[in-house]
């Protein structure tokens, strides 16, 4: 199966790389310049080559950049949702919490009833065991 990603062309043999642009490729020549090494070499003990620490940091900076960009996008969207739908979302949240409160109470009552039933069963079985022992 051929993988295509937006950063580079991945050939048909790249089926299992650790690269976030195409999870699964074993060794992607397109990833090597971006990540600084072959994933295949990394999994096989480095292929006899030592890594440059600066090269090891580059993928972390890429990841941090895209993570921060994604977080900023979420913040921007959240502000717009609050402005547009805030009062409606507040009402929905209130309705949800009211419903969950009732469901929680029902679960507590059911647990209490089950516990009471188990205690009665234990008592009856204990008495039956004592009567047989006599």
Shared-domain flag, residues 67 and 127: yes
Query: What pLDDT sits at residue 133?
Result: 82
Shared-domain flag, residues 19 and 59: no
Split into its structural domains, the chain has a count of: 2
Shared-domain flag, residues 69 and 125: yes
Query: What pLDDT sits at residue 92?
Result: 97
Shared-domain flag, residues 16 and 35: yes
Query: What pLDDT sits at residue 62?
Result: 95
- Whether the model pTM is above 0.85: no
Query: What pLDDT sits at residue 121?
Result: 93
Shared-domain flag, residues 46 and 57: no
Q: Are 9 and 22 in contact (CB under 8 A)?
A: no
Look up the domain containing 104 and give its range: 52-133
Inter-CA distances, 83 with 71, 78, 79, 94, 107, Å: 19, 9, 6, 18, 36
Shared-domain flag, residues 71 and 5: no
| pLDDT tens, per residue, the chain with 134 residues | 444 455 445 544 444 455 655 555 555 555 555 555 555 555 445 555 577 888 889 999 999 999 999 999 999 999 999 999 999 999 999 999 999 999 999 999 999 888 999 999 999 999 998 888 87
Query: What pLDDT sits at residue 65?
Result: 97
Shared-domain flag, residues 45 and 70: no
Shared-domain flag, residues 68 and 16: no
9: helix, strand or coil: strand
């Amino acid at each position: 199966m051929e993988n295509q990603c937006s950063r580079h062309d991945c050939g048909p043999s790249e089926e299992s790389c650790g690269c976030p642009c195409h999870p699964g490729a074993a060794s992607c020549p397109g990833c090597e310049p971006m990540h600084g090494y072959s994933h295949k070499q990394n999994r096989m003990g480095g292929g006899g080559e030592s890594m440059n620490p600066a090269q090891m940091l580059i993928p972390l900076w890429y990841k941090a950049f895209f993570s921060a960009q994604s977080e900023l996008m979420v913040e921007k969207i959240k502000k717009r949702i609050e402005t547009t739908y805030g009062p409606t979302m507040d009402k929905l949240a209130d309705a949800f919490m009211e419903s969950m409160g009732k469901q929680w109470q029902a679960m507590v009552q059911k647990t209490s009833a089950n516990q009471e039933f188990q205690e009665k069963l234990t008592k009856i079985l204990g008495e039956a065991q004592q009567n047989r022992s006599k």
